[in-house]
Amino acid sequence: MELHFEELLGKITDFMKSEANTDTVVGKQFDLGEFKCVPVIKVGMGFGSGGGEGTEAKTKKGQGMGAGAGVGIEPIGFLVTKGGEISFLEAGKKHGLAAAFEKVPDLIEKIVKNRAKEEAAV
């Protein structure tokens, strides 16, 4: 049995790259009226591995290895853009994404008010 640690670590790393992104956690960028909303996540990763080989007497040989990885992914908010303005809408730790989505009606209300002002000015 040959130890292919680099190959195993490469497969674990590729899997983590494919899974630790906003698309798999909270979704893709979306438009809300004149606003573009981009989800933002916080990612933490950890790796561990070990291996060894040995011989016992003249006929017994052994080797082994193991590896593991863990990923913690947390949605933390949205980058919100309108024209040249950019702001960050925090999701909050207590309520997660629910806190961000609670603010959506306020954003819609601002859009409606701004349009009404623009139409009244014309």
pLDDT band for 1, please (50, 70, 90 cuts): very low
Flag whether 72 is in a domain. Answer: yes
| 27-42: pLDDT as tens digits | 788 888 888 888 888 8
pLDDT tens-digit map of 45-98 = 787 878 888 887 777 888 887 777 777 878 788 888 888 888 888 876 555 566
CA 91 centroid distance within chain: 14
Determine the length of the chain: 122
- Residue 89: inside a domain, yes or no? yes
The residue among 82, 80, 84 whose CA lies nearest residue 101 is: 80
Is residue 58 situated within a structural domain?
no
If one counts the domains in the chain, the total is 1
* 59: in domain: no
Range of the domain at 110: 5-51+64-121
Please report whether residue 56 resides in a domain: no
pLDDT at position 100 is: 65
Which position has the token pair 């309108």?
A: 82
Q: How far is CA 63 from CA 9, 51, 56, in A?
A: 18, 8, 11
The span from the CA of 53 to the CA of 22, in Å, is: 41
